[in-house]
Amino acid sequence: MQIIAKAKISNNHTPDEVIQLILSNRGIVGDTNIAQFFNPSLPDLDKLIKELGIDTMSLAVAKNLVEKAIANKQNICVYGDYDADGITATAIIWLTLKLLGARVLPFIPDRTRHGYGLSDTSVQELITGQAFTHSNYPNFIPDLIITVDNGVVANKQVATLKKAGKIVIVTDHHQKGESLPKCDSLIHTVQTSGAGIAWVVARYLSSDATFAKERIDLATIGIVADQMPVVGVNRAIVKQGLQQIAESNLLGLATLLHTAGIFGKSLTTYDINFVIGPRINAVGRMNDALQALRLLCTNNKILAQKLSKSMEELNKQRQQITEKSIKSALSQLDEHKITVLASKNYHHGVIGLIAGKLAETSHKPAVVMSIDGDLVKGSARSVSGVNITNLLRQHHSLLHSVGGHEQAAGFSLSLKNLPEFTKALTSSADKSIDSKLLNDTMYVELDLPLELTTQELTTKLSLLEPYGIGNQKPRFVSHDLVVLEDKILGEDGKHHKLTLEQGGVTRTALWFNGQSITGKIKSLVYTLDINVWQNKKTVQLITSYVEL
């Protein structure tokens, strides 16, 4: 592993100077830009729409169609997705339309039966009403369908819906295909997530009503969980949204926070990435994603508690299955520029997590596929500089469907095409991916003496929050550290609490999934946190990498 620091500083730098260096590293210079970064102002709706690049005419058409549907008592279906972004987006639109007096039901596709997005199967179920036969409204057949977090590449399916006389509004943030669906209104941008778009649409439909503005809580969950860049408008949304999550008037969301043990605390993007998001995603991965949507939308306290506890158990199951599958997948890495794996033993709900871990570990794109009979479902994750969706689309003739972003994609294909697809994808990746993009390199903010890892610096670093893609939590490197103590943590002994010393200065470092060490550490890469124990605050290093 090559560790590259953007700058090296000495012991005489102050915490304020360290912060200025970090801002400079990130291209944030000048008093105006720095002030805007520290205190991002949320634009009004018109400016928000403009900055996100959303077409105002498409919004106006959509609002007119929705208002007509409500006035004519037509049935509206909000067609979502089974991940955290899709579920929060669905909740935002459904809650808004209900308060506007619409006859509206949500539909979340089943990962196994329908697959991602608008599929041939789900479209037929919508047209016939079969999609709702087991709901409390068995005779419900939608006249207007609003997609959230999907639909921009569903040209065939939208055409089928239009032929059946349906009104179709598509809202999506995924990459466009070569042509666009012929829907009644297309609301699209790649600048934010599906839930981010849904929040803008909800505000526009409601003429910016307070009840729609308050759903910035759900928009924030979707933006962060879907790994959208937390810069510009997204940063402003997330900064305000984190506070709204903590104070949310949604009973289900508050119950989720209670069950997860984070209710009443000051929330960060960490809580979305590692607590809230995984629990919402777990339901869609392991069970029926509609249960997660019910939790976010319910006003029933008993139901909220029941659903939240179920979500907690499903997340534990997801963790166990994922850990076992990752261990198996890591043993199959090869020398190609892309990892392509397929197995009947991979649960289709966790293949994205497996691919993500493989890409992170091997520093190259990874594609993981689950085989179920004659159908193969795949998920892909990439590294910076490699557009995985474009790479997959080079082989669209072998696929049923494909869609996604630069760094993540999903697709499906027939089992009979799997050998040819694997060979073709591996070959095109080996030829087209620049080896320089796959270097085993870790970039850090600063080469920092241990003496500067103070409470004052750690506290001031919080001014850089919220963290996320485009504004990562600063990582530092320190060299030539003496290990004074190595304390094993956890029931399985996989985690370590190290006491380190450099030049007479000692610090505690947590190393998750680490190994026992003695003597010296050549280089330690870490982030800084404040640990609070018995009302006493101490600096704590959270280890990312150790070079002995």
- Domains in the chain, CATH or no CATH each: 2-36+441-547 (2.40.50.460), 45-313 (3.90.1640.30), 326-434 (3.10.310.30)
Radius of gyration over every alpha carbon of the chain, rounded to an integer in angstroms: 24
Neighbour tally for 88: CB within 10 Å: 36
The one-letter amino acid at 152: V
Contact 118, 157 (CB under 8 A): yes
Per DSSP, the three-state class of 70 is helix
Residue listed under structure tokens 């040209």: 155
Q: What DSSP line would sit under 356-375, residue for residue?
A: HHHHHHHTS-EEEEEEETTE
Cβ neighbours around 163 below 10 Å, total: 9
Cis (ω within 30 of 0) for the bond into 466? yes
The Cα–Cα gap between 45 and 56 comes to 11
User: Alpha-carbon torsion 340, 4, 480, 527, what sign?
Assistant: negative
**Strands, E assignment, 449-517:** 476-489, 495-502, 505-511
d(CA 98, CA 84): 21
Q: Quickly tell me which residue has 């090296």 as its tokens.
A: 8
The residue type at 434: D
Q: What is the pTM of this model?
A: 0.90
Residue 440 has a pLDDT of 80
List C-alpha distances in Å: 56 to 34, 61, 62, 93, 501: 31, 9, 10, 18, 59
| Cβ-defined contacts of 455-459 (< 8 Å, 24+) | 455/530, 455/537, 455/538, 455/539, 456/15, 457/15, 457/18, 457/528, 458/528, 458/529, 458/530, 458/539, 459/530
CA 121 – CA 143 distance, rounded (Å): 18
Please state, as a whole number, how many other Cβ atoms lie within 10 Å of the Cβ of residue 309: 12
Measured between alpha carbons, how far is residue 433 from residues 367, 413, 438, 441 in Å?
15, 23, 8, 17
Planar angle of CA 128, 132, 133, nearest 5 degrees: 85
Alpha-carbon distance values, 484 to 69, 502, 506 (Å): 70, 10, 9
Dist. CA 59–CA 499, nearest whole Å: 57
The two structure tokens encoding residue 198: 């849904």
Q: Which amino acid is at 62?
A: A
d(CA 294, CA 169): 23
Q: What is the pLDDT of residue 117?
A: 87
The whole-number pLDDT of residue 466 equals 96
Sign of the Cα torsion 44, 46, 48, 50 reads negative
Output the six-digit token pair for 284.
């869609």
Contacts of 343 (CB under 8 A, 6+ apart): 328, 369, 370, 371
Phi/psi at 259 (nearest 5 deg)? -60, -35
Dig out the tokens for 452 from the structure: 């500067």
Q: Do 267 and 236 contact (CB within 8 A), yes or no? A: no
Rounded (10°) CA dihedral 461, 466, 468, 471: -50
The whole-number pLDDT of residue 56 equals 97
**C-alpha triplet 244, 245, 248: angle, nearest 5°:** 75
Which DSSP category does 452 fall into?
G
> Quick one: tokens of 337?
């520029």
CA dihedral 319, 325, 329, 330 (to 10 degrees): 40
Does an H or E element contain 508, and which? strand 505-511
Contact 353, 380 (CB under 8 A): no
Strand 536-547 relative to strand 520-533, pairing: antiparallel
Reading the block at residue 414, the tokens are 């027939």
Per-residue pLDDT tens, the chain, 548 aa: give them.
Answer: 889 999 888 888 999 999 999 999 999 999 999 999 999 999 999 999 999 999 999 999 999 999 999 999 999 999 999 999 999 999 999 999 999 999 999 999 988 888 888 999 999 999 999 999 989 999 999 999 999 999 999 999 999 999 999 999 999 999 998 899 999 999 999 999 999 999 999 999 999 999 999 999 999 999 999 999 999 999 999 999 999 999 999 999 999 999 999 998 999 999 999 999 999 999 988 889 999 999 999 999 999 999 999 999 999 999 999 999 999 999 999 999 999 999 999 998 899 999 999 999 999 999 999 999 999 999 999 998 999 999 999 999 999 989 888 999 999 999 999 999 999 999 999 999 999 899 888 899 999 999 999 999 999 999 999 999 999 999 999 999 999 999 999 878 889 999 999 999 999 999 998 999 989 999 999 999 999 888 899 999 999 999 99
∠ CA(117), CA(160), CA(151), 5° rounding?
25
